[in-house]
Structure 1
Amino acid sequence: MYLLFPGRHHLLTRFQADYLQGHTGREVVWAVTSANHENTKRNPVPYHRREAAIERLSVLSGLRSVVVPIFDAAPTSAFAEVTLKTVAVATGLDLTPENTVVACSTPEVAALYEKLGFPIAPVEDDPALPEKPERPWDVLLRLAAGDETWRELAHPATIDVFERYRLVEAVRTAVNDPLVGDEGGLTATRDYRTYVEAFAGAAERKWSAVRRYVEPGRIVDIGCGAGSLLELADREPALHESDLIGVEIARHLYQECVHKKAQGVFQNANVYFYQRNVLGGAIFADRSVDTTLTFALTHEIWSYGAQRESLRQFIRRIYDHTAPGGVWINSDVCGPDDPRREVLLRLSVADGDNPASPRPDLAGLSSEEIQAYVGSLSTRARLDQFAVDFAFPCEYEPVGDDTVRIELATAMDYLTRKDYLDNWLSETREQFCGLSFADWTELLAEVGFDLDPSSHPIRNDWVIENRIAPVAALTDLSGRPVDWPATHLLAVARRGRAG
């Protein structure tokens, strides 16, 4: 009676349509997996577009179909059972081995259904085929690579939907993006729950620091996280007629924004969220945005991209979409004014363990094990571990048991990161001190922005007094104390009205 066809179904092929014709008389149940994922390398097409193509293929092929979204879950050996239960809840269909054949070309997935007693139709994996047809994902990779022969293999239903909704370039951007991970995000090791909590706690402080510079109109928060800052902008009476737009690359955070909007958190009807990577191409029309906000974002572009080149490209995108008289407000970490200066850094050896050598294998441990191990180290020993895990050069020369000779920027990169234990492997992929305030001033002018006089470097004295100074001391090479340098910056960059 039924043919269950599980898969991501981002692209449908002519072979699939012909194969399904061989099962005429069966109702096809398309179980679309990862239905809650989109705009990622593994899942570039949103579910509703996949559904539209399936429905169109069904009409063109004369198939009776039911389409069911299957939301992504943690890997489980009960995947087949979960899919069957989801189908039952969504449609009322009770699919059993007696009334259903499972169409599946992935041996590992087919085995899960075989274990439950279902007969399998192997589709592209059928050994009886005279030659192996290309799988849908391989055809999609042709598209992503710019190989137009994908159109010869894709079903007309997919071609039609991709062209009508301009998905060809969207797929190419998502699959080829050098920064975004397979599941949408810059890093696969970040604990987003901790990240959201930390940003939400600091949102009011951040908003109060920048509110005076915000120009009403079209206000865009790039890297908006879970939307905490836009929640505060939403409460501003002077901005009630402004458009509030959040752009977030990480799927987990974008979904939280959409959830908040659906729950009625925002009063302004003109609040929108996009899951996009600004480096992947223009999101907004030139000269169309009055205020752009970025918080704790630019160091990630620097770290996960090609450093200055990627950051300059990002700034250029912002400049292009900023309206004459508009403003970009950027708050982020910042390196010291004299980054290459050599200093002596004394670190406590009495506040934890001091193993003979750092571990090279943290990537193979769970986040809880990493947190426990790094947290057990002394501040001095933690520097050795940081040097192993840090994605950038971290060179220093030991001078006694508790002191090292080190460049100031490298010292501050470690000291400002040493307590991020719950996201250790993510944080050690990022460089905080890649640019000084002077470097920022030069880069903004190079692109065309005017730096507002209110822009300035900032030293987070709370972090210095509570996290760094109790376990570390900084001196010059002759032993004289050195003042702790700036740790952050606020840059208010304006586009001239004649620009």
Structure 2
Amino acid sequence: METDYLLFPGRHHLLTRFQAEFLTRQARDATVVWAVTSANHENTKRNPVPFHRREAAIERLSAQEGLRSLVVPVFDTARTDRFAAVTVKNVEVATGLALTPENTVVGCSTPAVAAMYAALGFTIVPVEDDPALDVAPERPWDVLMRLAAGDESWQELAHPATVDVFARYRLVESVQAVVNDPVVGDEGGLTATRDYRTYVEAFAAGAERKWQLVREHVRPGRIVDVGCGAGAVLEMADRDPALRESDLIGVEVARHLFEECVHKKAQGAFENPNVFFYHRNVLGGAVFAPRSIDTTMTFALTHEIWSYGARMESLRRFVAAIYEHTVPGGVWINSDVCGPDGKDRPVRLRLSTTDGANPPLEDLPADVAGYVGGLSTRARLDRFAADFRFPFSFTDVGDGEVELTLGDAMDFLTRKDYTDNWLSETQEQFCGLEMADWKSLLTDVGFEVDAASHTTRNEWIVANRLAPVASLTRPDGTALDWPVTHVLLIARRPLNT
């Protein structure tokens, strides 16, 4: 087909031999304009390969196949039926080329995307879904999934340019780690229902309190905050004169929060020039060299690893990774929620039925926060039991009173007021481990548990969230005090290891 340009939109994480054959046949003397979408995303399940590596493979393929190409990054946008128009404008801004239906055809096999370009008047040339093909070739994403599954046949389907770039930059390992990661969601976060704006605000508000909690235990040198959120605690560390010679390193798995960290650094929020951020998940493989980190900090992270991973298996793997990268004499400081001592013992919980509505259990409406927030505490327990991702049962003994384990009682009571993020919070278990479990795990991996480690009870939660609507007793009716809710663990790697 005679044309000046062939627009080839796609994420282009992997290039196939079939794509090369298609382009050399269709483009002829035309320029191939590679519109690389989601160019600002990497290290996520949907977008595991960074743009600059995708671009390198495209340029290598073009050189090998004799194609004249232009590569244009297209940043991710919210879903819109104007996506095709936005992409065409991106090309014009980046290259000065005005792609029109008169000078350009579009190569596309995604029906919804092709329809957008067709609506603008462009002629669509099918790629993998060409009805004239006797056998439909595998699409690039299918080949990438072969790679992720460890199927070496991906190399026979991928173009040599991709195989070469993946080999030189060890992308096979990183793609497999990201795609097969049981913790990270498709968009690089822990859960699709989480409101990250709320979390950023919460991190910022509590940063000084967290820093004061751990400051005396921090060992200067290379200091890492794993699950650093928006970098608020590292901002506190940055202001500490005693740490001005230290490296401050943030590791964050959620793309939204990582991008906020990078933005802060670009805006001059840190005085220390040795502040670095990594968009990584420590469960996907080693982030740091063995025995290279002096202090690791984690805040409100380990319960998420337990919840979104394989519970103890994932948590043990995480703790072992921290131990491995800690220098002898170095420290891991972990602050998180925890289960009460004796979490499996039975208790009775009396809950208010007069502080909200008591409807029969039904499907959640669209306004989850409004609906759950309007329920009584007792009715909210029924809702929690239905939505909680972990085994949860109780016996109704009447008059707003139920019998259940102490750990289950505290999982509900410490979560019942998170209505804004209800569908996210009910995916997490706060009381999976109690202090004795933590000590056993840490020593088993090789850490020494410092005497400064301790559990605490959040008195504000007791006074404002628990006591007004609930009471706790033994099964025989004897009153029980509210148990601990949080743990501070100071784990040191012995000097002789």
Identify the TM-score tier after normalising by the shorter chain. Answer: over 0.9
Q: Could you say what secondary structure the match of 1:286 adopts?
A: coil
Inter-partner Cα distance in structure 1 for 2:263 and 2:312: 35
Q: Could you say what secondary structure the match of 1:102 adopts?
A: strand
Q: Which residue of 1 aligns with 2:271?
A: 267
Q: Which residue of 1 aligns with 2:20?
A: 17
Compute the TM-score of the two structures, normalised by the length of structure 1.
0.97
Q: Which residue of 1 aligns with 2:346?
A: 342
Inter-partner Cα distance in structure 2 for 1:396 and 1:149: 51
Q: Deviations over 1:199-229 (max 9, x none)?
A: 1100100000000000011111111111111
**Comparing 430-439 and 468-477, the one that deviates more:** 468-477
Equivalent residue for 1:397, pick from 392, 395, 398: 395
Q: Which residue of 1 aligns with 2:484?
A: 486
> CA shift at 1:275, angstroms?
1.3
> CA shift at 1:254, angstroms?
1.1
Map 1:445-484 onto structure 2 (within 5 A). Answer: 445-484=443-482
Is residue 69 of structure 2 the alignment partner of residue 71 of structure 1? no
> CA shift at 1:479, angstroms?
2.3
Map 1:84-95 onto structure 2 (within 5 A). Answer: 84-95=88-99
Q: Deviations over 1:430-449 (max 9, x none)?
A: 00011111111111111111
Map 1:417-456 onto structure 2 (within 5 A). Answer: 417-456=415-454
> CA shift at 1:131, angstroms?
2.4
Is residue 6 of structure 2 the alignment partner of residue 3 of structure 1? yes
Size of the aligned set, in residue pairs, is: 493
Map 1:248-259 onto structure 2 (within 5 A). Answer: 248-259=252-263
Map 1:41-56 onto structure 2 (within 5 A). Answer: 41-56=45-60
Q: Deviations over 1:287-342 (max 9, x none)?
A: 11100000000001111111112111111111111100000000000111011222
Inter-partner Cα distance in structure 2 for 1:263 and 1:25: 45
Q: Which residue of 1 aligns with 2:237?
A: 233
> CA shift at 1:401, angstroms?
2.5
Q: Deviations over 1:138-182 (max 9, x none)?
A: 111121122222222211221221122111100111111122111
> CA shift at 1:10, angstroms?
0.2
Q: Which residue of 2 aligns with 1:413?
A: 411
> CA shift at 1:494, angstroms?
0.3
Map 1:263-342 onto structure 2 (within 5 A). Answer: 263-342=267-346
Amino acid at match of 2:221: G
Amino acid at match of 2:442: L
Gap runs ≥5 in structure 2: none
Is residue 98 of structure 2 the alignment partner of residue 98 of structure 1? no
Amino acid at match of 2:323: Y
> CA shift at 1:463, angstroms?
0.9
Amino acid at match of 2:461: V
Inter-partner Cα distance in structure 2 for 1:13 and 1:344: 62
Map 1:179-190 onto structure 2 (within 5 A). Answer: 179-190=183-194
Inter-partner Cα distance in structure 1 for 2:447 and 2:139: 48
Map 1:160-175 onto structure 2 (within 5 A). Answer: 160-175=164-179
> CA shift at 1:52, angstroms?
1.4
Equivalent residue for 1:379, pick from 377, 387, 398: 377
Q: Deviations over 1:374-402 (max 9, x none)?
A: 00101110010000000112211112231
Q: Could you say what secondary structure the match of 1:238 adopts?
A: helix
Is residue 349 of structure 2 the alignment partner of residue 351 of structure 1? no
Q: Could you say what secondary structure the match of 1:82 adopts?
A: helix
Gap runs ≥5 in structure 1: none
Q: Could you say what secondary structure the match of 1:80 adopts?
A: helix
Inter-partner Cα distance in structure 2 for 1:449 and 1:112: 57
> CA shift at 1:26, angstroms?
1.3
Is residue 216 of structure 2 the alignment partner of residue 218 of structure 1? no
> CA shift at 1:9, angstroms?
0.1
Q: Deviations over 1:398-420 (max 9, x none)?
A: 12231111211111100000011
Inter-partner Cα distance in structure 1 for 2:271 and 2:159: 43
Q: What's the % identity of the aligned pairs?
A: 70
Inter-partner Cα distance in structure 2 for 1:398 and 1:147: 52
Q: Could you say what secondary structure the match of 1:123 adopts?
A: coil
**Comparing 433-442 and 177-186, the one that deviates more:** 177-186
Inter-partner Cα distance in structure 2 for 1:470 and 1:441: 33
Amino acid at match of 2:12: H
Q: Deviations over 1:47-71 (max 9, x none)?
A: 1111111122222222222111111
Q: Deviations over 1:26-51 (max 9, x none)?
A: 11111111111111111100011111
Compute the TM-score of the two structures, normalised by the length of structure 2.
0.97
